[in-house]
Amino acid sequence: MTVDIPLVNGTYSFTIKAYSKESFNKAIEFYKAFLLLEHRSESATSALLFNGVVSLKLEIHEDASKQSEVNGVLEGLKANVGVKDWRGMANESFVFNTSDILLAKQSLIDSGLPYQSYPNEVSPMQVYTLDPLGNVIGVTSTKNAVSTKPTHPSIPEHEGRTTALTSKVPSSSDLKNATNESFDKAVEASNVKNQKAIGIMTSGGDAPGMNASVRAVVRTAIYKGCRAYAIMEGYEGLVRGGPEYIKEFTWDDVRGWSSLGGTDIGTARCMEFKERKGRLKGAQHMIEAGIDALIVCGGDGSLTGADLYRSEWPSLLQELLEEGRISQEQYDRYKHLNICGIVGSIDNDMSTTDATIGAYSALDRILKAIDYVEATANSHSRAFVVEVMGRNCGWLALLAGISTSADYILIPEKPSSSREWEEQMSSIVTKHRQRGKRTTIVIVAEGAITSDLEPITSKDVHKILSGKLGLDTRITTLGHVQRGGSPVAYDRILATLQGVEAVNAVLDSTPDTPSPLIAVNENKIVRKSLVESVKLTKSVADAIKEKDFKKAMSLRDTEFIEHLNNFMAINSADHNEPDLPAGKRLKIAIVNVGAPAGGANSAVYSMATYCMSRGHKPYAIYNGWSGLCRHESVRSLDWASMLGWQSRGGSEIGTNRVTPEEADIGMIAYYFQKYQFDGLIVIGGFEAFASLNQLERARDSYAAFRIPMVLIPATLSNNVPGTEYSLGSDTSLNALMEYCDVIKQSASSTRGRVFVVECQGGNSGYLATSAALACGAQVSYVPEEGISLDQLTLDIESLAKQFEKSEGRNRFGKLILTSDKASKALSAEALAEVMTSESNGMFDAKAAIPGHVQQGGLPSAIDRTRATRLSIKAVNFIEDQQDVLVDARHDDDELDVHDRKFSKTAAVLGVRGSHVLFTSVRKLWDTETEIKKRTPKIIHWQATRDIADRLVDRKRID
Distance between CA atoms of residues 434 and 378, nearest Å? 15
Beta bridge partner(s), residue 713: 684
In a 13 Å sphere around the CA of 424, the CA atoms on its Cβ side amount to: 14
- Going by C-beta distance under 8 Å and a sequence separation of 6 or more, which residues neighbour residue 487? 208, 209, 212, 259, 261, 358, 361, 495
365 is in an annotated binding site: no
The DSSP secondary structure of 528-541, one letter per residue, reads: EEHHHHHHHHHHHH
626 is in an annotated binding site: no
563 is in an annotated binding site: no
Inter-residue contact 327 to 451 (CB < 8 Å): no
Q: Coil, helix or strand for 767?
A: helix
855 is in an annotated binding site: yes
Distance between CA atoms of residues 402 and 861, nearest Å? 10
- How far, CA to CA in Å, does 822 sit from each of 220, 259, 383, 892? 28, 26, 50, 47
What sign results for the dihedral spanned by CA atoms 727, 729, 732, 737? negative
716 is in an annotated binding site: yes
Distance between CA atoms of residues 644 and 609, nearest Å? 13
Inter-residue contact 395 to 402 (CB < 8 Å): no
345 is in an annotated binding site: yes
718 is in an annotated binding site: yes
191 is in an annotated binding site: no
Distance between CA atoms of residues 275 and 291, nearest Å? 21
481 is in an annotated binding site: yes
Of 347, 460, 863, 946, which residue is the catalytic one?
Answer: 347
531 is in an annotated binding site: no
393 is in an annotated binding site: no
> 929-930 and 338-343: which strand pairing?
unpaired
The amino acid occupying position 549 is F
624 is in an annotated binding site: no
Closest to 202 in 3D by CA, of 310, 345, 309, 336:
345
What sign results for the dihedral spanned by CA atoms 533, 538, 542, 547? positive
391 is in an annotated binding site: yes
852 is in an annotated binding site: yes
Distance between CA atoms of residues 233 and 239, nearest Å? 10
Can the peptide bond before residue 119 be classed as cis, meaning omega within 30 degrees of 0? yes
Q: Can you state the angle between helices 729-749 and 489-508, rounded to 10 degrees?
A: 90
410 is in an annotated binding site: no
Distance between CA atoms of residues 710 and 691, nearest Å? 11
Q: What single DSSP character describes residue 468?
A: I
- How far, CA to CA in Å, does 863 sit from each of 400, 599, 734? 12, 5, 11
219 is in an annotated binding site: no
761 is in an annotated binding site: yes
301 is in an annotated binding site: yes
389 is in an annotated binding site: yes
195 is in an annotated binding site: no
The percent of the chain in helix, strand and coil, each rounded to the nearest 5, is 45, 20, 35
Neighbour-count burial for 897-926, b at 16+ CB within 10 Å, e otherwise = eeeeebbbbbbbbbbbeeebebbbbbbbbe
808 is in an annotated binding site: no
- Going by C-beta distance under 8 Å and a sequence separation of 6 or more, which residues neighbour residue 207? 263, 344, 345, 346, 356, 357, 358, 359, 361, 362, 483, 491
The DSSP secondary structure of 624-691, one letter per residue, reads: HHHHHHHH--EEE--TGGGTTGGG--S-TT---S--HHHH-HHHHHHHHHHHT-SEEEEEESHHHHHH
Closest to 352 in 3D by CA, of 521, 221, 491:
521
Beta bridge partner(s), residue 125: none
Q: Could you confirm whether 347 is annotated as catalytic? A: yes
Distance between CA atoms of residues 651 and 863, nearest Å? 14
Inter-residue contact 90 to 57 (CB < 8 Å): no
Q: What are phi and psi of 841, to 5 degrees?
A: 80, 5
Inter-residue contact 846 to 832 (CB < 8 Å): yes
762 is in an annotated binding site: yes
382 is in an annotated binding site: yes
205 is in an annotated binding site: yes
346 is in an annotated binding site: yes
Distance between CA atoms of residues 213 and 499, nearest Å? 5
- Going by C-beta distance under 8 Å and a sequence separation of 6 or more, which residues neighbour residue 686? 594, 715, 717, 719, 720, 762, 934
270 is in an annotated binding site: yes
CA 579 to chain centre: 37
Q: Which residues are annotated as a binding site for substrate?
A: 345-347, 382, 389-391, 446, 474, 480-483
Q: Which residues are annotated as a binding site for beta-D-fructose 2,6-bisphosphate?
A: 657, 715-719, 753, 760-762, 820, 846, 852-855, 934
Q: Which residues are annotated as a binding site for Mg(2+)?
A: 300
Q: Which residues are annotated as a binding site for ATP?
A: 205, 269-270, 299-302
Residues labelled as active-site residues:
347
Q: Which residues are annotated as a binding site?
A: 205, 269-270, 299-302, 345-347, 382, 389-391, 446, 474, 480-483, 657, 715-719, 753, 760-762, 820, 846, 852-855, 934
